[in-house]
Amino acid sequence: MTLWIYALITGLSPSVVRSAIMITIFIAAKTFAKNKNGYNTLAFAAFCQLIYNPFLIWDVGFQLSYISVFGLIYLQPKIYKWLYVKNKWINKVWELIALSLSAQLVTFPLCIYYFHQFPVYFLLGNLFISIPLIIIMILGIAILIPFVDKLSPVFEWVIVSTNQILKWIADLPYSTLSSVWINLPELILLSLALGFFVYALAKYNKLLILISLLIFIFYQSMIAYDDYKAINQKKIIFFTLRKNYAGAFIQGRKAILITDLHEDDKNFQFFIKPSLEQSQINEINFISLKRDTTLKNFILKDKQIIFDDYRMLLLDESLNYKNLQTQGSFSSIWITGNIKFKLEKLPKEIKYKNIIIDATNRDYKIEAFKTFAENIKATPHILKKNPAYLVQLTK
């Protein structure tokens, strides 16, 4: 009962529910003197959760939780047998190392796929957290009891100190391999290669090692092809933001980012930077729409943007209550700055197919611009509360 009360207090996340079900089964099996099979227990716990909510199978926490426990059940005993340690305390440390290695090894592909990074010092962090974690769990339950809640300051100190040390570990040089992006086929290949390799080592099977190596070579060839595409890519991304504007003009591994955000802004960190990292960009040049800029293959001048063969007309607040003296053919028009310029006053000599409306415009004006675009049979791309707009220029 105490176990499920604790699970309820912690929010019944997939990993907590999995632990509660498994421990309950183990306790029941021990009570009735039945054999306990870790694989069956794990499968039954997953079955119970998926019966309740089948869509949990797509939950990242659910996947990592069950795969890591499978690694502990299957791999930990095998890794532990690599070394025989006589000293009791050193043996305990080796047990923890084997535990950490087995869990990290089986979750490695998913960590790369979902989080695009891998902790280099995971052994150091896992060894450190093992002792404070037990203290935190015991104190967390204890302070719920009347009079024992006097220990709350101690509980807080343990949590704060643990977080500070973990942060220190995370800030060590080369603590994380980051910006590692793989797609679903690459995830499957990496998982298969790793799975065959681990099983081959467990069974001492040379053929499986060869199969693992061949799969890994195929995986590396796909990674190499991704690098080739990144080097030769040419595209424009107009990002979806709440109140700001941002457009990335990408050629190879370099990007010219037109935005009113700065590098430390949370909107850039959460909405723009990950996308540029996925495109394998290693150089970003920040510029503003307020200033004319001329760079290689890029010109921002006189309310026009030219990127390779892509021409764009810029309509911003500087045109309020003014007439536009421009003509020519454009790939698109970019409307920004909540302008008061009437689109009906656009010279008929201007030709365009797309209208891009960013989030700096208010909702009622966005609707008006959208209606105007539909009336003249141009395609409106509204960036506010809609997906980003991608223009592929690679031939």
- H or E, element range at 28: helix 14-31
pLDDT classification of 33: cutoffs 50, 70, 90: low
Per-chain mean pLDDT for the chain: 85
Question: Would you state the pLDDT for residue 31?
Answer: 64
Question: Would you state the pLDDT for residue 32?
Answer: 63
Do residues 76 and 102 touch, judged by C-beta distance below 8 A? Answer: yes
Q: Is 46 exposed, middle or buried (0-12, 13-18, 19+ CB in 10 A)?
A: buried
71-127: pLDDT as tens digits: 888 888 888 888 887 888 888 888 888 888 888 888 889 989 988 888 888 877 777
The answer, yes or no, to whether residue 1 has pLDDT greater than 80, is no
Give the Cα separation of 240 and 117 in Å (integer): 24
Do residues 256 and 295 touch, judged by C-beta distance below 8 A? Answer: yes
Query: Is residue 370 helix, strand or coil?
Result: helix
The answer, yes or no, to whether residue 51 has pLDDT greater than 60, is yes
The answer, yes or no, to whether residue 237 has pLDDT greater than 90, is yes
Lowest mean pLDDT: which of 29-43, 269-283, 352-366? 29-43
Give the Cα separation of 4 and 11 in Å (integer): 11
Pairing of strands 328-329, 350-351: parallel
Question: Would you state the pLDDT for residue 134?
Answer: 77
Instruction: List, in order, residues 6 or more apart from 349 with CB less than 8 Å away.
Output: 327, 328
Give the Cα separation of 52 and 44 in Å (integer): 13
Top-confidence residue, 57 or 381? 381
% of the chain at pLDDT higher than 90: 27
pLDDT classification of 356: cutoffs 50, 70, 90: very high
The answer, yes or no, to whether residue 128 has pLDDT greater than 80, is no
Q: What is the DSSP string of 200-242?
A: HHHHT-HHHHHHHHHHHHHHHHHHHHHHHHHHH-EEEEEPP-S
Question: Would you state the pLDDT for residue 93?
Answer: 83
Amino acid identity of residue 369, one-letter, is F
Residue with tokens 């009962």: 1
The answer, yes or no, to whether residue 368 has pLDDT greater than 80, is yes
Q: What is the DSSP string of 115-174?
A: HS-EETTHHHHHHHHHHHHHHHHHHHHHTTSTTGGGGHHHHHHHHHHHHHHHHHHHTSTT
Question: Would you state the pLDDT for residue 26?
Answer: 67
Lookup: tokens for 284: 């970003």
* Segments making up each domain of the chain, as ranges: 2-181, 187-232, 241-392
Give the Cα separation of 389 and 380 in Å (integer): 10
Question: Would you state the pLDDT for residue 168?
Answer: 86
379-391: pLDDT as tens digits: 999 998 888 999 9
CB atoms within 10 A of CB 339: 18
Q: Is 136 exposed, middle or buried (0-12, 13-18, 19+ CB in 10 A)?
A: middle
Top-confidence residue, 189 or 159? 189
Q: Give Cα 227 to chain centroid, integer Å.
A: 20
Question: Would you state the pLDDT for residue 257?
Answer: 94
Question: Would you state the pLDDT for residue 30?
Answer: 62
92-103: pLDDT as tens digits: 888 888 888 888
Lookup: tokens for 313: 């007309």
The answer, yes or no, to whether residue 135 has pLDDT greater than 90, is no
Mean pLDDT of 293-297: 87
Do residues 187 and 222 touch, judged by C-beta distance below 8 A? Answer: no
255-271: pLDDT as tens digits: 999 999 998 899 999 89
- How far, in Å, are 176, 213, 293 from residue 106 at the CA level? 18, 17, 49
pTM to 2 decimal places: 0.76
First to last CA, the chain: 64
Give the Cα separation of 239 and 279 in Å (integer): 14
